[in-house]
Amino acid sequence: MAIAARALTIFSLIVTLVAIGATDASASHSWGNYHWARTANPFTLELGSNTTGDWVGHLNTTATNWSKSNVLDSVKSAGRSGGNCRPTSGRVEVCNKTYGNNGWLGLAQIWVSGGHIVQGVAKMNDTYFNTSKYNNPNEKQHVMCQEVGHTLGLGHTSEDGSSQNTCMDYFSNTGANATSTQSTEPNQHDYDQLALIYGHLDSTTTLKSTTAAIARGGPTGADGDGTPVDASRARGSWYVENLGGGRYLITHIRWID
């Protein structure tokens, strides 16, 4: 009964959050219309690099590709959180680490207040990327690009394994597709989606905030890998935790094949 009640609560929160700030301009893979508050376009979003090895280059490429959007520039800067990827107010921390055999390849989290993103993290799980199946540059680039894309306010374009030739799909650059560069970068539809999400300006900004970071929350946000309680592929790819006071911790998961 407790699990069923929790599932119902999470579903209700998702329905409520999707409605926050919704407009007639909603496009097909926005993530609940969550967005960074800003007073002008294009805006600059810092991506804190807590990355090692070849992930550094994948983050460089990701920052360059998302900056092709007309509404934002993503800029890599020094990381502030280490491998556990503690959030920093006003920006996104990007990390790689052996987070364990928890079923996810990549994970993105955003903290939302009043419908606005105030901080975010993007994590790559080296527990799987260190295996022969996933340890190739195309799969790494795909997942890195996707997790950062979530922190911009984008959802998955599909989860059936097909390629829409965007990093926001669930195509897998593994096995026979290991040498394929399909789905390793954003496409025009992603840029069009961002233009819709950021089509209006705000009276304030949540970028480069000097305020304290929102607490990580309860079980979902505990130190460690940050995997939501009872997370599983069968229950979907994103989860909501109510932090109180109109604030939410929202997690998007890229499951392994």
The model's pLDDT over 196-228, given as tens digits with 9 standing for 90+, comes to: 999 999 999 999 865 566 766 655 544 467 888
- Report yes or no: 55 and 83 within 8 Å, Cβ to Cβ: no
Is residue 76 within 8 A of residue 92, CB to CB? The reply is no
Question: Which pLDDT does position 172 carry in this prediction?
Answer: 95
Cα distance between residue 9 and residue 66, in whole Å: 34
Predicted TM-score (pTM) of this structure = 0.86
What is the per-residue pLDDT for 2?
A: 46
In the beta sheet, which residues pair with residue 250? 110, 240
Domain region containing 6 = 2-255
Q: What is the mean pLDDT of the chain?
A: 86
Angle between helices 137-152 and 55-66 (to 10 degrees): 50
In whole angstroms, what is the distance from residue 223 CA to residue 61 CA? 29
Confidence of residue 238 (pLDDT cuts 50, 70, 90): confident
Instruction: With beta carbons less than 8 A apart as the criterion, state whether 90 and 207 touch.
Output: yes
Length of the chain: 257
Does residue 53 surpass a pLDDT of 60?
yes
Question: Exposed (0-12), middle (13-18) or buried (19+): which is 60, by Cβ within 10 Å?
Answer: middle
Percent of the chain with pLDDT strictly greater than 90: 69
Is the confidence at residue 20, as pLDDT, over 90? Answer: no
- The number of CA neighbours under 13 Å toward the Cβ of 194 is 25
Across residues 4-14, what is the average pLDDT?
44
Tell me how far apart the alpha carbons of residues 140 and 117 are, in angstroms, rounded to a whole number: 25
Region 85-100 average pLDDT:
95
> pLDDT, tens digit, for every residue of 164-208?
999 999 999 999 999 999 999 999 999 999 999 999 999 999 998
φ, ψ of residue 141 in degrees (nearest 5): -65, -40
* Residue 239 pLDDT > 80: yes
Q: Measure the CA–CA gap between 197 and 27, rounded to whole angstroms.
A: 8
Tally of CB atoms within 10 A around 175:
10
Q: Which long-range contacts (CB under 8 A, 24 or more apart) does 125-132 make?
A: 125/96, 125/97, 125/98, 125/99, 125/100, 125/225, 126/96, 126/97, 126/98, 126/99, 127/98, 127/99, 127/100, 127/101, 127/102, 128/256, 129/96, 129/105, 130/98
Whether residue 28 is predicted with pLDDT greater than 90 in this model: the reply is: no
Question: What is the average per-residue pLDDT within 49-77?
Answer: 97
Composition of the chain by helix, strand, coil, percent to 5: 25, 25, 50
Mean pLDDT of all residues in 139-149: 98
Instruction: Compare 110 and 115 and report the one with higher pLDDT.
Output: 110
Indicate which CATH number applies to the domain containing 84: 3.40.390.10
Give the total number of structural domains in the chain. Answer: 1
Q: Say if residue 51's pLDDT is above 50.
A: yes
Model confidence at 24, pLDDT cuts 50, 70, 90, reads: very low
